[in-house]
Amino acid sequence: MATNLGALRDGEPVPARPLAVSRARTSRRILLDRISARLVVLGGIVIIASILAILFVIAAEVYPLFKKPTATLVRAHPSAAADATPAPGDSVGVDEYRQVAFVVTRGGVVELYPLERQQAMAAMPVPALSGVRSQPSSRWARAPICWEPRMAERFRSI
């Protein structure tokens, strides 16, 4: 091996020094190489299994959308008003939190029913209808119903 600048300038070929590696070091490197290769394969299999599990969960969540819808009667709430016939159209519904159901009667009264309890809330007359019995001819001909929701205790009240 060239150890000085003069030997390199002469252009003489420099013999390579033999690499002395022990047998234990070589076998340890081979073992680590095999373990690393198996870990990479195992990581790939885990990733593919995770993706398949995600697809399975998505399919399980979407499957009920393709089934026929069903409804079951859980409870009936008796009406507190004398004229309890619902008005035509979209006169029965539930709030967005599914805690209070409402019915707009033909007499122009809004009845509210908390779905957690059997007791009905106080009925509210709709001033825009003022007790007039009418049947709207279209969805847009209905009188507006406005109320202000408030939080009482831990429930929403109207």
Global confidence as pTM: 0.43
Using alpha carbons, select from 67, 119, 110, 71 the residue that is nearest to residue 90. Answer: 110
Q: How many C-beta atoms lie closer than 10 Å to residue 100's C-beta? A: 20
| 3-state SS, residue 41 | helix
Range of the domain at 112: 75-134
The answer to whether position 105 is within a domain reads yes
Domain stop point among 68, 91, 107: 68
Q: What is the pLDDT of residues 107-147, one digit of tens each?
A: 777 888 888 877 777 778 777 765 555 455 445 444 555 55
- pLDDT, tens digit, 9 for 90 and up, residues 8-44: 666 666 677 777 778 888 899 999 999 999 999 999 9
The reply to whether 14 falls in a domain is no
The answer on 129 and 79 residing in a single domain is yes
| pLDDT tens for each residue of 35-87 | 999 999 999 999 999 999 999 999 999 999 999 988 888 777 666 665 667 76
- As for how many domains the chain has, the answer is 2
